[in-house]
Amino acid sequence: MLKPGRASPATGRQAGAEAVEVRLIGLIAKGDLQAFETLYRGYFPRLTRFLDRMTRSAHLIEEVVNDTMLVVWQKAQTFDHTSKVSTWVFAIAYRKALKAIGAFDDPVDADCDDYTGQSENEPEQEFGRQQMQGLMMQALDALPAEQRHVVNLAYYHGMDYGEIAEIMECPVNTVKTRMFHARRRMKTILSPQLGERP
């Protein structure tokens, strides 16, 4: 157990990663293409996971990632250090995705297999994991969009309520309320599947 006042190794790594990203943004603001490519490579898998759960469309994912990173390239000099780089980038992606979803006429569906990784588990374990992941995705998809985005950012991207509030441009208490209702609804949806009482 860590004593008060001592940072965990994970906290140290996060601070180091943030410092690297801040430095990259500074270089990008000066037109450094190599720094941009480094940041792009680092964010591509994170943004595709986020956008997969938000849009469920491979076409939109690629479009929104590219639009997001174009804004990062063009607006790097406007990054004011009042938030983490990741919060800033995800907020851009969130707004771009909402706009793209609103403009997209075709129904969106889960055709994003290209973005999922392969597991090396035993076949039985892998089947159970995939089955549970499928149930979780169904429950997540059944949530209203704003609740789904809160769960996505919190559980799949490790963001705290303050960061989520900044990304979604709403008060922290609204994020907490959405999370409360999302958890309750997901439990109600999953309980019969898992043989539990809701």
pLDDT digit string (tens) for 105-158? Answer: 444 443 444 444 444 456 666 666 677 777 777 888 888 989 999 998 988 888
Mean pLDDT of the chain: 81
Structural tokens at position 164: 């989520």
Q: What's the pLDDT at 126? A: 66
Structural tokens at position 109: 């569906």
Identify the residue with better confidence: 110 or 64.
Answer: 64
Q: For 159-169, what is the mean pLDDT? A: 92
- Look at residue 7 and tell me whether its pLDDT is greater than 60: no
Vertex 156, ends 183 and 116: CA angle to 5°?
Answer: 125
Identify the residue with better confidence: 49 or 196.
Answer: 49
- Please return the burial class of 168, using the count of CB atoms within 10 Å of its CB with bins 0-12, 13-18 and 19+: buried
Q: Write phi, then psi, for 174 (nearest 5 degrees).
A: -65, -40
Q: How far is CA 46 from CA 6, 79, 158, in A?
A: 29, 20, 11
Q: What's the pLDDT at 114? A: 41
Each as own residue / partner, the long-range contacts of residues 35-43 (CB below 8 Å, 24 or more positions apart, any chain) are: 36/69, 36/72, 36/73, 39/69, 39/72, 40/69, 43/69, 43/89
Domains of the chain: 10-109 (1.10.1740.10), 118-198 (1.10.10.10)
The model's pTM is: 0.68
d(CA 98, CA 187): 27
